[in-house]
Amino acid sequence: MKTKDLDRASFKSAEVVVVMCDKNTKDPIQNDYINVLMALSIKNHSFKHAKQTTRVIMQLVKPQSKQHYYNSLSFKSYDQLIIVDDIKLTLMAKSCFSKGIITFITNLITTSGEPGECSKVWIKEYAQGKTYELYRTKLSDKLEGMKFKDVVAQVYKDYKAIVIALEMSQEDNSIILLNPSCMKLTDIKQRSMHIYIICSNSDIADQISVMGKPKNHVAFQYAFN
């Protein structure tokens, strides 16, 4: 890594560095080695010049490369490693129990155009569902004190969007909780809370990020009406 290249990317002021892999490479092990060395070089450079260890989010192809990276570190790290083969194998295993889960996730993480005209009802419903995507947005501090399940119900009632998870800071890290139903939402700003929602466009996600608390809390069953 050249210092001038890192400076051009505003490396010293970056909160995190993302290292992507070549998922179509003919030599995945070699590609992983290059990415691991690049990440180690970045962390050493940040410690040498900025007296801090920059957080790295890195894609690797092979599961064994993850251990190679952690074994090479001489200090505690909060880096996030995304293993492509692990994701593929996990989805294949899950599809044995939940048919259609691969198609469902693919539709969530890829952008689809407006559905065309079709006479069959199920195709219309499927095409409409393909327009929905997964968004991460701030949790409005106006919802302070509400339970997560009540927020889920209110969002569904007002915006026809589905809240599936909560992200919040914890010490020097952040955690993601899947449907913490009965959790009371407190210190929303201080804990930098975000929610993950499934909705049709980013405008709805932006509206949800500033939504206010209802005068009367909505019962949880509204989410299933």
DSSP 23-62: TT-S-HHHHHHHHHHHHHHHHHHHHHHHSS--EEEEEESS
DSSP 153-181: HHHHHHH--EEEEEEEEETTEEEEEE--T
d(CA 78, CA 96): 33
Tens of pLDDT, residues 48-59: 776 677 889 999
Cross-strand partners of 166: 177, 195
Contacts of 122 (CB under 8 A, 6+ apart): none
**What pLDDT was estimated at residue 3?**
74
Residue ranges for the chain with pLDDT beneath 70: 1, 50-51, 113-116, 215-225
Domain extents in the chain: 3-91, 132-224
**Domain covering 132-224, topology:** Alpha-Beta Plaits (3.30.70)
